[in-house]
Structure 1
């Protein structure tokens, strides 16, 4: 029922009720004995420091006004064969309430059942609602999460068709359940949403914390924007910043609400988190510079001695005597290793045992390695890689490299350091 306080031109669509709560107009609907309505979880761009979208979320209450979990609502609907019916009802509510928000340029993130995209009747209903509300497809991000019964080929074709109409598509819950990198290639979304479980693992496991930036980089290389959902703490916000995610959602930034988020407040939260990230990054980089200094001095001295004509087997001992220095080796101008690795065998023997097939690297080609190419392109100084996984022992490693003139040959001297955070 429309109250006297509301715009006289507002007309509730069939099956929906329009009411005013705290001065905000909202549509609600009934499903069985439940009252359903919408709230919106903001999606923030960390770079823009503002909301760039809102995800429509269902809220349900029973006749006694007690909250009912949306999972229960959809679960009960699925058990009686009404999953698509409730999905359409939720979409309609979110679209109607989004139109009331007054958002001028933000996206609406709309969760859709795969059947909504695949089945012509349901997809036509979605398109009709958008036309009626004058919401352009480019402002809608369709969040897709296929279930085990979904025909993936049909879903991929449907996703492609909706993208051609101007919609954006997001793959939801990446990293949870059956959603893996293969689904990214098959469905070709515009945005990939990383499930909160990945943040939880990254908080407690150093290997996962190191993997998260690489995963985001992989998705970026595949042309996908990345949204991390479920950011609830300062630490998780720092992880999202560190892994170069494009977008974030979560209670740390803003909770779901019926209306638009407070732009000034959110900008302040993101700005403070970004400043702390800058400070932590600079502190870490200063620590790395200090930690690397003795290796750099010893490595430069080794390069000088090698250029002066001293044997490779003798020039590296000061470098290798440092804690965590792993090996030295020499590459020719084609990236082929000349001679064996120079190591302190007493320090490396136990570690090397399981990787004995890799011990003899004489003649190996390291042409693909960035440390080789960088040294050749920019001669005359020591180059330092970022941490990477060494093939020698499957350990984190950093490599120093520098071009040296050895007799008539231009070579690249390399030194590996075990690099544990």
Structure 2
């Protein structure tokens, strides 16, 4: 570690609360964070709240965070951190983390990040504190990397906050190697709308885990969202469904009961989900019933053309056993810029799951996840099945179906 960083960690700047802050009363509130696997609270995020001193009217978050006139932003942040840490010591459960948001917006110097002396003063261990860094506020990459080094040497855990919102960059995960990645509530709201959003949330969760981080989903407000969080595999959860922010942590037990409730409800949720998928699959199987026993390729192609008269069927295409399209594009379309993508015979789909699955399990219908088609750049899903003709030739028959996410 460089001498400069050692000095920054050890320095103890004296910051006195100015009189000009007396027009507002500020205090800390805590929102518990839970683990599905532990079935328990593992810590809490600390948040700033305040009232106008003159009449007790609650202040908005921006007004609370706004530094008083004549006070440096870095000094004001340090005062708030000191208040949060002291308040946490009076309420913290054993073996738990405090999630502390470190405001790095407009910060120009490493000295403004000093936390080491606060830990020493309050007898806090670095590993008891998770420092949340808002991903969108990172402007200076070099300063960011030095900050991570300082926090690591203090023993703190690092959480990348609001991931998935706005201008999220996946390379932040590689560079910071955060211990925890907090998925933004907007990702959850999109996942609540339909299968495509759920698939994206599940893939983001998988990416976070494969990068070596713990995933935390915030903003959970309903039982449906809590079940969805468990289903996509997130590690930690936070939101009003479990507990609202409060000055003390008396709601921890009721939140743990909610975690247990979701865990007990989950098998029924999965069974219901599986039943619904099976019902849908039965309807998709009906698309292929008229295609069995066809003597040759022409008869198969004509049979599939008839099926496309159904309003929810977008197009059909036929693949040979090597994954190449052997049917012409059946959908008439106006000339657009998308015509640079080839259509019809000769297209190669051998790497698509709908081809591989149908060929491997020749007695089953495969239903893809929703995706954006290369043919017209519109959302669809593909259902596929192997068809054995009387001639002995095997083809994979595919139908693209219109897909629309349901609205929340």
TM-score normalised over the length of structure 1: 0.73
1:75 aligns with 2:66: yes
Return the offset for 1:142. Answer: 0.8
In 1, Cα distance between equivalents of 2:172 and 2:186: 18
1:328 aligns with 2:316: yes
Q: Greater strand share, 1 or 2?
A: 1
By relative contact order (CA 8 Å, sep 6+), the higher-ranking structure is 2
Return the offset for 1:335. Answer: 2.0
Tell me if the contact between 2:48 and 2:64 (Cα under 8 Å) persists in the aligned partners: no
**Mapping 1:408-419, distance limit 5 Å:** 411-419=395-403
**Mapping 1:224-239, distance limit 5 Å:** 224-234=213-223, 236-237=225-226
In structure 2, what is the equivalent of residue 107 of structure 1?
97
Return the offset for 1:371. Answer: 1.6
Return the offset for 1:109. Answer: 0.4
Segment of structure 1 superposing worse, 44-53 or 179-188: 179-188
Tell me if the contact between 1:84 and 1:116 (Cα under 8 Å) persists in the aligned partners: no
Segment of structure 1 superposing worse, 88-97 or 210-219: 210-219
Q: Structure 1: which 5+ residue stretches go unaligned?
A: 1-13, 17-27
Provide, for residues 117-163 of structure 1, a one-character-per-residue CA deviation record: whole Å limited to 9, x for no partner: 9844344x412333454543333211112676842332134225534
In structure 2, what is the equivalent of residue 361 of structure 1?
344
In structure 1, what is the equivalent of residue 354 of structure 2?
371
Alpha-carbon RMSD across the aligned residues, in angstroms, is: 4.1
In 2, Cα distance between equivalents of 1:382 and 1:147: 43
TM-score normalised over the length of structure 2: 0.75
Return the offset for 1:369. Answer: 0.9
Return the offset for 1:362. Answer: 1.1
Q: SS in structure 2 opposite 1:32?
A: helix
Return the offset for 1:41. Answer: 1.1
In structure 2, what is the equivalent of residue 97 of structure 1?
87
In 2, Cα distance between equivalents of 1:247 and 1:340: 49
1:142 to 131, 138, 145: 131
In 2, Cα distance between equivalents of 1:132 and 1:408: 81
Quickly say closer, same or farther: Cα 1:164–1:380, change in 2 above 3 A.
Answer: farther
Q: Structure 2: which 5+ residue stretches go unaligned?
A: 1-13
Segment of structure 1 superposing worse, 269-278 or 97-106: 269-278
Tell me if the contact between 1:230 and 1:250 (Cα under 8 Å) persists in the aligned partners: yes
Provide, for residues 270-329 of structure 1, a one-character-per-residue CA deviation record: whole Å limited to 9, x for no partner: 3445566655554454344323324314425525536x7774323435644544233333
Provide, for residues 332-368 of structure 1, a one-character-per-residue CA deviation record: whole Å limited to 9, x for no partner: 3432222324x4xxxx546998855557221111122
Provide, for residues 198-236 of structure 1, a one-character-per-residue CA deviation record: whole Å limited to 9, x for no partner: 555666xx47x7335404523531435443333334555
Q: SS in structure 1 opposite 2:358?
A: helix
